[in-house]
Amino acid sequence: MDSRYRLVDRVPPLGDYRRLREVSGLTPVSEEQGAPAVANAWGGCHVVAEDGAVVAMGRILGDGGWYFHITDIATDPAHQQRGLGRAVVERLLAVIVDAAPPNPYITLMADPPGRRLYESLGFETTYSAGMVQTAIRRGDPGPGR
């Protein structure tokens, strides 16, 4: 990462978090969804450009002991292909390794655009299938309940 950028060791402010998710192609989130995501992250970092704009980010979810999940890796398209995503992931990995007991279990979900980056940092494809449940709403017991 060149000197035009500065890495900050915390999750970005809510407005920047929501904007980066949207402009980078991640699923947009509401303030109601984003506020606890920002407040309750185990760790995170973001990148600030020389004009003060937040241009990249990442978060860590985790229990602080064994399990850590890297999420919300996003870079503003105007600042992509400059090593910012790599810098974010490398920093998040360092934060985990520095704080966790030996041999933490670190996961992430890799969309096609990020796979080469994650593989270059030692992540391997697993044989577990990622699954998601988005249909449950308040008061709805969900399918089969």
Mean pLDDT over each residue of the chain, to the nearest integer: 91
Q: Which two tokens stand for residue 125?
A: 């494809």
Res 12: pLDDT: 98
Crossing angle (nearest 10°) for helices 14-23 and 31-39 = 110
**Full domain range(s) for residue 90:** 5-120
Q: Would you say residue 130 lies in a domain?
A: no
- 71 domain residue, yes or no: yes
**Residue 138 has what pLDDT?**
65
State how far the Cα of 93 lies from the Cα of 140, in Å rounded to an integer.
37
Give the pLDDT confidence of 119-140 residue by residue, as tens digits: 999 999 888 877 887 776 666 5
What pLDDT does residue 141 have?
58
Q: Which residue's structure tokens are 């709403």?
A: 137
Which tokens is 100 given?
């966790």
Q: Is residue 5 over pLDDT 90?
A: yes
| Residue 15 maps to a domain | yes
Instruction: Provide mean pLDDT across the span 14-30.
Output: 96
How sure is the predictor about 108, in pLDDT bands with cuts at 50, 70 and 90?
A: very high
Q: How far is CA 106 from CA 20, 36, 38, in A?
A: 23, 22, 19
Examine residue 128 and state whether it is found in any structural domain, yes or no: no
CATH number at residue 49: 3.40.630.30
- Structure-token pair, residue 143: 């399918």
**Residue 41's pLDDT is what?**
97
The amino acid sitting at 2 is: D
Tell whether 129 is covered by a domain: no
Task: Dig out the tokens for 50 from the structure.
Answer: 């020389």
Q: How far is residue 91's CA from residue 93's CA, in Å, rounded to a whole number?
A: 5
Measured CA to CA, the distance from residue 89 to residue 100 in angstroms comes to 16
Q: Is residue 136 part of a domain?
A: no
Q: Percentage of residues in the chain with pLDDT exceeding 70?
A: 93
Residue 76 lies in a domain: yes
**Average pLDDT of the segment spanning 31-58:** 97
Q: Residue 58 has which token pair? A: 């990442």
Q: Using CA atoms, how far apart are residues 127 and 82, in angstroms rounded to an integer?
A: 31
Q: What is the tens place of the pLDDT at every residue in 63-105?
A: 999 999 999 999 999 999 999 999 999 999 999 999 999 999 9
CA distance 62 to 67: 6
Structural domains of the chain, count: 1
